[in-house]
Structure 1
Amino acid sequence: MSGGLKSQRLILHGRPRFSIDGADEVRLNEDLIRLEVRADEETPACLEAVFKNWGQSRAGNEPNYLYFDNEILELGRSLSVFGGEGDNEATLFSGQITAIEGIYPESRAPEIRVCAEDRLQWLRMTQRSRLFEDASDRDIAQRLADDAGLRADSEAEGPQHVELLQVNQSELDLLRERARAVDGRIADEEGVLLFRPRRDEPAEPVLLTRQNELLNVTVCADLAHQRSEVRVHGWSVAEKAAIHESAGVDAARVEADNNGRLGVEILDEIQSGLSEELHLEAPATAEEALKLAETRLKRRARRFITARGVTAGTPGLSVGDRVDLVDLGDLFAGIYYLTAVRHSFDMRDGLRTWFVGERNDLGGRS
């Protein structure tokens, strides 16, 4: 999915536009009944679309099934969907068709449901056991991309592993594991495997307001998953010494976009000394242990405040973008990082965009 809004026209009308193998398919645009595109930080982006499947494919023809001839919809074909109009058009989805389903309702014409996923699906279907030697997490991501026939944009930094085992594990599960370990995110972007630092997005946040495109939003601040400190323990075989590393409030503060109070700080004021102890991760070096501690602390800290909202169709929003929710009061107004985005279309509401965002600090905006 492609982020970045191209204009200030945020409330959108019109139907999504489809292309198959790079060619526009106007029939699909016209026959679309409903559409849903979902994406999050760790799983392949997926699409489900339902089309009318009965009528005349050409003038003068007898009515028949429209999409059972494999001329347009066929398993394995590349499918892209675009939303918005004019300079506000953005890619909602790009992937391959993986399932086709016939629907035969009692009281209306036959329909066809198409499901598609992006290219991360092939990593999920490949399972291996192997050993990576003297490789960083970036090297491992590059290797996985090469094996899957993808190009790689691998920028997430991590420690150098003397040995790292992949045991009866899918390529996607291994990639998720390494992304979590180095605080990275993964995505497929037009056949390029992204393995990037989670917070390296340079784009300005997208302004959303309840006065126009933001239809509804709920925001919750919750201390349940917060900890004052994360400690990681291990053993260095090379140095024959125990490893003890930790991360606390300073690790979380670098991501405080709103100059508010961190959940970690608030928790420590209420009940100090609540730490998470990690003994099973088996870091081989102090560098690896410190990275694990910082990453785990940041992941916990980000979950302090969660926003779930719906807009009147914002096709440029994608996972990894930031949104600025402005008129929610001093406590909750501010910048949120998007961890999940869903675009939907139906005949009643048109295009809608659903999002989940998170931040680690409360207040800070006056």
Structure 2
Amino acid sequence: MLRIMVVDDEELAAMRLMRILSERDEPSEAIMFLDSLEAYEYAKAHPVDVAFLDISMPDVNGMQLSKLLTDTRETTKIVFVTGYDTYAVRAFELNALDYIMKPITAERLDVTMKRIGTENQATAAAKPSLEVFLFNGMNLNLRTAEGAREAVKLRSPKTEELFAFLLCKRVVIREEIIDTLWNGLVPDKAWKNLNSTLYYVRKAINTTEHKSEITVTGNEIRINTDELYCDLYEFEHLLKEIRRDPERNTPLLKRAEALYAGPLLRGKAYDWASEYALSLERQYTELLELQARHYRQRGQLLQALNGYGEILKLDAIREDVHGEMIRIFLELGRKNDALRQYRQLEAMLRTDLGIEPDAEIKKLLL
């Protein structure tokens, strides 16, 4: 799947290109930025395959941004988008893949996308890459040079747990692993179990065509995070970026929402992971709530409703969140929806906690 970035300070032009991209049959993942520096910060932490850049932008123009992006990741393909044809020669001097005049049409975009496809086939790396997904369970894929995904199966539940532990810790010493995963075994047997299980992990995820995702140096075992994709790592980076400026990071929060498909390692009874999973969920919920309040204050009530709804997916009996949604429904003149929300809250509280909703919430509907 292509990871695409659209950067244009003209919102309507950017949205038009995003719409045309979304209507294409080929799978892709596109994110839009109206600010060059925000786009650059995102690209520093996330692989971008193709960047569609408007040339005339304030602060950092498209040509300057193209150099920043390719310095960050040489394989990022640059497509310049502009309303002026005077930049064409300069654009191709910068090794741009293409140069498109506004307004962009679906037919013209097809030409660019075919060119991208040809380039990808010519420059595709010979090595597969490992993709690890830890939210809502644990799934591993190996992406082949042709772009196909092959599921990776680990040998046993203990092999899965060891790999999950290493992924979450990044760097860990052998004693900590043994104390966590083989506590209670005599030392010799514990060390033997660790060594054999680690062998089977490495055998499953490593092939002769690419570098090792796990490095063992003396007593230390390290995950080489640059050699794999992990949704957890991207999610944590997004949380960090969003905290810097929650009001301006709506695209990043939407990406975080897409990544958070369910609790970390759902279905895996790993005691060591439970606190970590709760911490991630709590941080994510705080950001959702912060943004929902922001939308509320700006009068963007539908966006606020969506944010509060996402919170309830994580914690369905948040009485305060139900109350906010009821207030918004009433402000929008949707009393039936407000009543439905109240009845939902009432039923859950009675069933799960044996209590009634707060009287102040009930008064809202009188």
TM category (shorter chain) comes to under 0.3
Instruction: Answer 1 or 2: higher relative contact order, Cα 8 Å, separation at least 6.
Output: 1
Higher helix fraction (1 or 2): 2
Bigger Rg, structure 1 or 2: 2
Higher strand fraction (1 or 2): 1
User: TM-score, normalising length from structure 1?
Assistant: 0.22
User: TM-score, normalising length from structure 2?
Assistant: 0.22
